Amino acid sequence: MSVVTKQDIIEAIRKTAKENDGKPLGKNKVLDETGIRPYDWQKYWARFGDAQKEAGFAPNQLTIAYTDDFLIKKMISLIRKIGRFPTYGELRLEKRNDAEFPVSFGDV
């Protein structure tokens, strides 16, 4: 990739956000979608959220932590469903089939 300018990064943030129903992607998704690496944007901003702000967006917020009770109930429910402790693949599939299934389980 050639030299990535500040304007290239801002345009990429805007373009990918437009393709994502107006919601800006996080730094990892921007890398996946555009090839723009932290090395590229860290020349201009200390935090990726600052680049998002300059592109006209509020920075993404961290996901609120699940309660222990919620996580335990979801895991027990899946264990009962499949009859054993789930593998990584089973966690991913459950997340795909159950919108309420904790992301942290599906992204193990």
- Predicted confidence (pLDDT) per residue in 40-70, tens digit: 999 999 999 999 999 999 866 777 788 999 9
Q: What is the pLDDT, as a whole number, of residue 57?
A: 93
- What HEC string does the chain produce? CCCCCHHHHHHHHHHHHHHCCCCCCCHHHHHHHHCCCHHHHCCCCCCHHHHHHHCCCCCCCCCCCCCHHHHHHHHHHHHHHHCCCCCHHHHHHHHHHCCCCCHHHHCC
Whether 52 and 45 have beta carbons less than 8 Å apart is answered as: no
Q: Which residues of the chain have pLDDT under 70?
A: 1, 59-60, 104-108
pTM of model > 0.75: no
Q: What is the pLDDT, as a whole number, of residue 105?
A: 59
